[in-house]
Structure 1
Amino acid sequence: MSIEDEIPDLVTGEEANLNETLRSLDAKIIPIPPAQLKEYEETLATRLSNLPTRKVPITIITGYLGSGKSTLLDLITKTGGRRIAVILNEFGDTAAIEKSLTIADSETSYEEWLDLGNGCLCCTVKDTGVTAIENLIEKSKDKIDYILLETSGLADPAPIARMFWLDEAISSNVYIDGVITVLDAGNIEKCLEDYGGHWHKEQGYEVTNDRDDGVTTAQLQVALADVVLLNKCDTVGSSDDLERVREKIREINGLAPIHETTFGKVHLDNILDIHAFESSVKLENDDPKINNHAVYHDERISTITLSFNVIPQEKFHIVEEFIQMMLWDPPKTNHTEQHSHSHSDATSHEETACTNSTEREIEVHRTKGLIQTDKSIQVIQGVREAYEFTEVPQTEVEGCKLVFIGKWLRYEFVKSQFETFTGLHLN
């Protein structure tokens, strides 16, 4: 028997648990030779160094100005029973601006200043943002249980989410728990059509007024949501109006659960500790009637689901290559636009309908799915062009599902691309 076999498993409970373990050992005192004792100490030190460090979850809260984000944050910090760091990430005019940080629990709070650099977190490089918050946690040990990061009302949450979505092999004391999008039920339909405002480009710091592809910031905020809070429902005129709003949200994001709220009042279990980026991916909201046959037929940004049977292991790489094509080298789809123009002369007036066909390049903003082969089960998570497969031991889902949320996703077109590329048939 090696000396490592003689070492009991480390106990992670309180001192009473350790004492109980010690009492279970043989009471006889056996002298240990110095060399053996040294080996014992080295093995114990190795086990201690390999213990996982505690990671602090980060929830990103996004939504248009006036949607109720600040009210929600106030509610969480007062009733959550957690020591929460709230980072306000509002857009500033200067290139470098300090961000207010409040660490609060239900009874006390104090404020510090956290310099994230570049003035806008969604425009910073990955190392800058993550390192700044990691350093904050190190300086505030035993003071922070949870981090809430409120984005600017005009920010695209994808770069922020991707920044904190770190590979498990990378040593970090933070992890992203989920993206919560807060919507003003009475105004969200207007916001979804609002092409003005600022657009934070990932590659630089330029801010433009419009996007040439007709996708609005509000649509992106809904598309990236893991949970949608439909706030201020009391301001909506009728139940039919509210249902119309819900359908438009589901058309964009068919996966995120929608919670209707007033004054941001929501059960915290619905928005905190949801582990949206872990391998236990949930696909129960992917109703084909919603995702693949949209009620309002807005192709600018929507959700589609590809369902197919269990595949042979040797086919897995072909499915992954299809996903890579969708994310990195997406095909172009023809988008038909109809408009009319009129012609008048002295004797008549004629109006003619015209149809233009325009090529649009698919852009996937969020990917989720489960690929089941005859030898393994793999869960995929993706944000924009980044994705990751994680093997899981078992699942309640039988078969395979791929869910894409993005722009210009026509189900029949993507279905044809998938079947041609992989040689597999969708259900």
Structure 2
Amino acid sequence: MTKMTLLTGPTLCFDANPLAGPWQDAVRIETDGAVLLADSRIAAVGKAAELRQAHPQAAEQRYDGDHLICPGFVDAHVHYPQTGIIASWGKRLIDWLNDYTFPEEMRLSDADYAQEVATRYLNLTRAHGTTTVASYCTIHPHSVDALFTAAASRDQRIVAGKTCMDRNAPDGLRDTPQSGYDASKALIERWHGKGRATYAITPRFSPTSTPEQLAALGALWGEHPDCLMQTHLSEQTDEVAWVRDLFPQARDYLDTYEAHGLLGERAVYGHAIYLEPREVDRIAEAGAALVHCPTSNTFIGSGLFDMAGLSARHIPVGLATDTGGGSSFSMLRTMAAAYEIGQLRGTPLHAAQLIWLATAGSANSLHLGDKVGSISKGHEADLTVLNLSSTPAIAQRHAQAKDHWESLFATIMMGDDRAIADVWIAGARQT
């Protein structure tokens, strides 16, 4: 028998991309809204009174005007193995990798530890309202199994892949072009498309992969084009210079991927701060996606992402915490950082644009926009309910707000896990 649940209260609805036109025409809040859940999917969206009358058998969960029913947050670029080193002090990217990331990823050579970290990570992010993540794992295939297994146990949508590196990494964290290909292929066969799992072919970034490994992974993607391909691009100036030294024949950083079959519509590039005009043109032509990681970009001193300029080129853009170079598990804090970076560039984002980036925008960048990221009939029932008066500081601002948008903005700027009133994953209320 189908389990019917009716969530009633202010509901966030998307009609279009608020970065592609006036946000007022793209995003709205239905103050007397309702969402009907049928098992794991959204069966209807509408007015509370109408859906209540049409489905009297549904169990109702009411949320008052101090709440907002939203799509579950979608974090489009994370490193779950770095959970334990989040908020480590003061390093640039390359130092961060050598001093924090690589030693911690070595610890995940222990399969039990990998499973512990995967479970801890999903618990922490769920507490912050995140229902979908796209994660890099380590070079160890069991680190991929650990995350997919932990997600499957709670019926959670997940994107992940084995990180591949065959140079410029410590002993114990390097594979080879052949072993990276073979292990990734086996993981694709084991996980991709099973339940709510999507596999992403994952070269960490060009400095840690030889041309031979990049070519092998490009060939693998050619064999499995429905997989995603995730990697890093132009995060810091010294990284870009390093890539230039390592690939003297390349036209630019993107060309180190493009030349080996790693540019396409289902490519997802994290950071993308220091792009050359040719790179922007090719990304736009290919339909590839970029992911903005604002807390990471400020925490390790990377730079300011050009949200307005890249969105104007109709490039899909997602939003991400970039755990653990990013300094928070919270997509609320990530939205706040994106606003601050927009201010520094003279292009501040409205609350409607920020919440879209953290939900539908990220889902679209991962080619999951037909499944998650918006409250739409037929979508998977992943929802996050915000408490717009979760702390005394936020409550007093909420009391002065002229509308829900002012209240939502205050929660974005000041909120944390206390602002998460409820999380629903595949139609099940999480406890």
How does the TM-score come out when normalised to structure 2? 0.28
User: Comparing both chains, which one has the higher relative contact order based on Cα–Cα distances under 8 Å and sequence gaps of 6 or more?
Assistant: 2
Indicate the structure (1 or 2) with the bigger Cα radius of gyration: 1
Between structures 1 and 2, the one with greater strand share: 1
How does the TM-score come out when normalised to structure 1? 0.28
